[in-house]
Amino acid sequence: MRTEARYSHLNGEEFLIVHRRDLWKEVQKIIADVDAAVCRTKVSKEKTKTGRLLYSPKELNAAFKTGFKSHGWSERRNTFWVTKDQDLLRSIYTLSVDDQKLAIEKAGHELIMSYNQTDFVKERVAVEVQLGKYAFVAHDIFVKHLSFYVSNIIDVGIEILPMKSLEREMSSGVPYYERDLLNIIRQGRGVPAVPLVIMGVAP
């Protein structure tokens, strides 16, 4: 696959070029090594695309996973405790997971364990490949990447999305770079408060 477009938010790409140059080249190589042609296996049953041979999100994801795993990238969870008291949550968010638990117990509130999970992390860089439903992109960017950044687990996040040209050859409901680029830009220059690189890929 090729990277057709990319957007650097809060100097995400600049950070990679200066501080993680080899890793940044590695990400681009992993993308380039994905053979989209062999992933065009899904026969559509949708009314507007019946019988058309489409790119399979499942197989594309598997190809990306193979590439990232082979270069030492691994899944990562960020576990934390939550409760209904907003003031308490604000005061404990930056604490360790054990201290969060103790603070909620001491306050007498219900303990609820939760976590965020990201696809690939290496050397404080997180990568999410989003080829599923378009609603998941906002969760990746405004929840996953931001949570890992605020928790000091990563310095920058990378979101890999299909270009519109690829999305047209996939099932309905898939995200595409051009739309999510607008979704980020219209939030203003400082939102979300995490350095990101949004990458649009195509066969």
| Residue 31 covered by a domain | yes
pTM score of the predicted model: 0.90
What domain range includes position 157?
2-76+120-202
| Residue 42 covered by a domain | yes
| Residue 156 covered by a domain | yes
Residues 140/130, Cβ–Cβ less than 8 Å: yes
| Residue 84 covered by a domain | no
- Please count the structural domains in the chain: 1
- Rounded to whole angstroms, the Cα distance separating 115 from 100 reads 13
| Residue 82 covered by a domain | no
- pLDDT tens string, the chain, 203 residues long: the values are 999 999 999 999 999 999 999 999 999 999 999 999 999 998 888 887 888 899 999 999 999 999 999 999 999 998 999 999 999 999 998 898 999 999 999 999 999 999 999 999 999 999 999 998 888 999 999 999 999 998 899 999 999 999 999 999 998 889 999 999 999 999 988 999 999 999 999 99
Helix, strand, or coil (residue 177): helix
Torsion sign across C-alpha atoms 137, 74, 12, 168: negative
| Residue 132 covered by a domain | yes
| CATH code assigned at 30 | 3.40.91.20
- Nearest to 87, CA basis, from 105, 107, 68: 107
| Residue 102 covered by a domain | no
| Residue 166 covered by a domain | yes
- Rounded to whole angstroms, the Cα distance separating 182 from 187 reads 9
Count of other CB atoms within 10 angstroms of residue 21: 10
